[in-house]
């Protein structure tokens, strides 16, 4: 493994992920430092260059503050963070279903995966994946925490993957465990089919350095007792105990680089200039508000001295002023007090910000209605209209869910294998588990009830069909049970007397007889 860290060409990906992360985190000082204009930098030669350096320097966040000492209002709009959160909500606000052919394996999956911890971890991973272009999942186990194997998430900027036909064949997760001046300790965890290799390296900020014993740091000492002579821990499965879920592909940024091409692209990819302009518009808006504060320009004679070296002040609540002879003033000789208040360009700023926001959302693959905006404002509309107006978001969600399903399915199989190896349970039999995502856009209950009533009135659907319409997420057994309860409550569970042979043959009114055909 090369000494430079991250190794080439993943240093390119790390640099771009730092930029995306800055927009996701949304700290003004971080954006200013990223684009080269920190709070103490007043001029930069790159500002006047051409090419990439000049373009980045001309970002709003990359402009120098000039002249020296002038106040500059800079406001960051957290649209990037809102996009990442919306992406995660679309995917995992409703947890996916993991289905296995074997009933025993299914019961274990329900116990291991159908937990608030796992659902929350997937939600968090999807949010960071939208920002950084993807997320990694790995199988972990610790009998002191849970009596079963678990899924853990790793951010995309803390991994070095290896691919085979665009599929993850191995991956090295890394973590900085200690920094002491120029010395940096990194823990590397390499996942390969059948084993996980742990190493500890002592290097510098951009150099991996030499391997040292795992016992040299408390965070890795636990692994020293478990690894073999090669530093590896057996997993008991031929499957890879890690998976990569790209946010969305293809990656326009790294398409020509084979090692980076399988990486996903961020929702912010290509819209960074628009996000920068949006911040500039809001900053201009806030500047208008700051400059539009009512001010009074008063002659020096109206100022009250505060003593030697302490300047003078004007009391705007003072009722009586001592007249001061001045050469300038109104026609009556009284010195003027001039009010100053600029207009705030609300409509212009609002329209510009709204247009830029819509352009960002469209480029990222989302409908404005996903963020509660329709025609520029939040409003109440029918569920059908919401579904229609969220079509772009639904398409993006469907594309992303396929990547997550492809990653989770094999990894869940590996999780069951590791669970069987470590905790003595039963592994996967038959095909790999399947991950299913439910429909995101659901009509409201009132609309479903109206539709079911219309079908009943028109005699166009059976009770079973209407129950499935109102509860599309239910299993067949749940639907059958509900149909039975409906029949019982409405009295339709009692056989129709007209179908009983006793009545057909003039039987008694007590209804005693056998059903027709028997």
Among 30, 44, 84, which residue's Cα sits nearest to residue 279?
30
First and final C-alpha spacing in the chain: 81
CA distance 279 to 76: 5
Average pLDDT rounded to a whole number, residues 40-50 = 41
Residue 19 vs residue 487, higher pLDDT: 19
Range of lowest pLDDT (223-237, 283-297, 320-334) = 320-334
| Predicted local distance difference test score (pLDDT) of residue 308 | 80
Quickly tell me which residue has 């509900």 as its tokens. 482
Confidence of residue 5 (pLDDT cuts 50, 70, 90): very high
Decide if pLDDT at 366 tops 80: yes
Give the three-state DSSP class for 169.
Answer: strand
**Residue spans per domain, the chain:** 76-264+406-437, 294-340, 445-504
Structure tokens that stand for 196 in this block: 């996980």
Give the three-state DSSP class for 478.
Answer: helix
Residue 60 · residue 279 · CB < 8 Å: yes
Decide if pLDDT at 428 tops 80: no
User: Tell me, what DSSP letter sits at residue 156?
Assistant: G
Q: Over the Cα atoms of the chain, what is R_g?
A: 33
Q: H-helix or E-strand containing 396?
A: helix 391-423
Structure tokens that stand for 117 in this block: 């911890």
Range of lowest pLDDT (87-91, 291-295, 354-358) = 291-295
Name the E strands within 89-166.
97-99, 134-140, 150-155, 159-164
Among 267, 266, 268, 254, which residue's Cα sits nearest to residue 163?
254
Residue 203 · residue 193 · CB < 8 Å: no
Q: H-helix or E-strand containing 489?
A: helix 476-490
Q: Enter the pTM of the model.
A: 0.76
Decide if pLDDT at 423 tops 70: yes
Range of lowest pLDDT (16-20, 178-182, 304-308, 494-498) = 494-498
Residue 151 vs residue 302, higher pLDDT: 151
Residue 73 · residue 290 · CB < 8 Å: yes
Among 192, 159, 139, 168, which residue's Cα sits nearest to residue 413?
139
| Predicted local distance difference test score (pLDDT) of residue 269 | 96
Residue 377 pairs in a beta bridge with 374
Residue 438 · residue 94 · CB < 8 Å: yes
User: Tell me, what DSSP letter sits at residue 372?
Assistant: T
247 Cβ contact partners less than 8 Å away, ≥ 6 residues apart: 87, 129, 130, 132, 133, 134, 135, 264, 265, 266, 267, 400, 403
Structure tokens that stand for 410 in this block: 């094999």
What are the backbone dihedrals phi and psi of residue 163, each rounded to the nearest 5 degrees, phi first? -120, 155
Best-predicted range by mean pLDDT (244-253, 327-336, 367-376): 244-253
Average pLDDT rounded to a whole number, residues 209-222 = 95
What are the backbone dihedrals phi and psi of residue 472, each rounded to the nearest 5 degrees, phi first? -65, -20
Quickly tell me which residue has 């009135």 as its tokens. 457
Residue 333 vs residue 275, higher pLDDT: 275
Average pLDDT rounded to a whole number, residues 376-398 = 65
The per-type count for the chain, helices as H runs and strands as E runs, is: 15, 15
List helix spans (H) across 209-253.
Answer: 218-224
Beta-sheet pairing, 159-164 with 167-180: antiparallel
Confidence of residue 312 (pLDDT cuts 50, 70, 90): confident
Give the three-state DSSP class for 475.
Answer: coil
Residue 496 vs residue 140, higher pLDDT: 140
Quickly tell me which residue has 């990359």 as its tokens. 62
Average pLDDT rounded to a whole number, residues 119-124 = 94
CA distance 17 to 14: 5
CA distance 502 to 506: 6
User: Tell me, what DSSP letter sits at residue 216?
Assistant: G
436 Cβ contact partners less than 8 Å away, ≥ 6 residues apart: 96, 97, 98, 99, 405
Among 236, 345, 253, 237, which residue's Cα sits nearest to residue 10?
253
Give the three-state DSSP class for 495.
Answer: coil
């Amino acid at each position: 493994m090369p000494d430079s860290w991250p190794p080439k060409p993943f240093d390119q990906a790390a640099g771009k992920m730092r930029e995306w992360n800055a927009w996701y985190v949304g700290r003004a000082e971080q954006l200013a430092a990223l684009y080269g204009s920190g709070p103490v930098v007043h001029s930069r030669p790159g500002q006047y260059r051409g090419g990439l350096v000049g373009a980045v320097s001309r970002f709003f966040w990359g402009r120098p503050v000039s002249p020296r000492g002038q106040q500059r209002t800079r406001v960051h709009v957290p649209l990037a963070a809102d996009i990442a959160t919306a992406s995660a909500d679309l995917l995992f606000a409703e947890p996916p279903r993991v289905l296995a052919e074997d009933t025993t394996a299914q019961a274990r999956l329900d116990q291991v995966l159908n937990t608030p911890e796992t659902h929350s971890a997937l939600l968090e991973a999807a949010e960071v994946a939208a920002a950084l272009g993807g997320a990694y999942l790995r199988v972990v186990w610790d009998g002191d925490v849970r009596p079963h194997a678990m899924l853990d998430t790793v951010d995309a900027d803390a991994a070095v993957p290896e691919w085979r036909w665009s599929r993850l064949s191995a991956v090295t997760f890394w973590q900085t465990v200690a920094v002491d001046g120029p010395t940096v300790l990194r823990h590397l965890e390499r996942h390969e089919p059948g084993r996980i290799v742990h190493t500890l390296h002592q290097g510098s900020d951009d150099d991996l350095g030499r391997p040292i014993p795992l016992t040299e740091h408390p965070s890795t000492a636990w692994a020293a007792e478990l690894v073999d002579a090669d530093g590896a821990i057996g997993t008991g499965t031929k499957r890879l105990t890690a998976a990569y879920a790209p946010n969305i592909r293809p990656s326009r940024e790294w398409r020509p680089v084979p090692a980076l091409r399988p990486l996903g692209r961020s929702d912010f990819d290509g819209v960074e200039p628009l996000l920068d302009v949006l911040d500039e518009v809001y900053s201009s808006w806030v500047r208008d508000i700051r400059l539009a504060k009512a001010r009074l320009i008063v002659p020096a004679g109206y100022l009250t001295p505060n003593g030697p070296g302490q300047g003078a002040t004007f009391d705007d609540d003072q009722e009586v002023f001592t007249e001061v002879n001045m050469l300038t003033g109104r026609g009556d000789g009284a010195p003027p007090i001039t009010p100053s208040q600029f207009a705030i360009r609300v409509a212009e700023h609002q329209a510009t910000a709204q247009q830029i926001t819509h352009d960002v959302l469209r480029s990222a693959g989302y409908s404005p209605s996903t963020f509660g905006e329709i025609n520029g404002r939040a409003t109440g509309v029918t569920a059908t209209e919401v579904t229609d107006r969220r079509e772009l978001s639904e398409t993006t969600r469907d594309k992303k869910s396929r990547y997550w399903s492809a990653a989770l399915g094999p990894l869940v199989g590996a999780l069951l294998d590791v669970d069987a190896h470590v905790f003595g349970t039963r592994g996967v039999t038959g095909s790999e588990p399947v991950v299913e995502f439910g429909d995101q856009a659901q009509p409201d209950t009132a609309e479903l009830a109206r539709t079911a009533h219309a079908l009943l009135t028109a005699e166009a659907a059976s009770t079973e069909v209407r129950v499935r319409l109102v509860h599309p997420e239910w299993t067949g057994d749940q639907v059958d049970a509900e149909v039975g309860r409906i029949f019982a409550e409405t009295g339709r569970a009692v056989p129709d007397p007209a179908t009983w042979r006793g009545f057909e043959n003039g039987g008694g009114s007590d209804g005693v007889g056998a059903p027709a055909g028997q």
